[in-house]
Amino acid sequence: MSLDLKTVRRVASLARLRLEEGEDVRLQAELNGILGWIEQLQAVDTEGVEPLAGAGGTAMPMRDDVVTDGGVADQVLANAPDRAGAFFAVPKVVE
């Protein structure tokens, strides 16, 4: 399926898009490209594949909550623009 310029202008009007001179041709090419991708997806065989409405039914794998990178303040602050001891220094924002 491809869109003609009349349809592209109507879609732009319905979407309240103001198109400059020549933009309608560019938009037509982009929309036809998107429709081409949709046609490719429709060609994929999905027989026997259950629809997935969301990932709410799956459980996320849990890991142990342990400290893995403690005590490396010098490495963390190595690229800081300014520091005060073992902390980031920032300009005063409240007077």
Is the model's pLDDT at 29 over the cut of 90?
A: yes
pTM of the complete model = 0.50
In whole angstroms, what is the distance from residue 32 CA to residue 3 CA?
Answer: 6
In the block, which residue shows the tokens 């459980």?
59
Confidence of residue 66 (pLDDT cuts 50, 70, 90): confident
Which domains are seen in the chain, by residue range?
Answer: 5-42 (1.10.20)
Taken as a whole, the chain contains a residue count of 95
User: What local confidence, expressed as pLDDT, does residue 7 receive?
Assistant: 94
Q: Which amino acid is at 13?
A: S
Q: What's the pLDDT tens digit per position in 37-62?
A: 999 999 999 899 888 777 777 788 89
- Per DSSP, helices labelled H in 1-95 are 5-14, 23-42, 73-76
Q: What's the pLDDT tens digit per position in 3-25?
A: 999 999 999 999 999 999 889 99
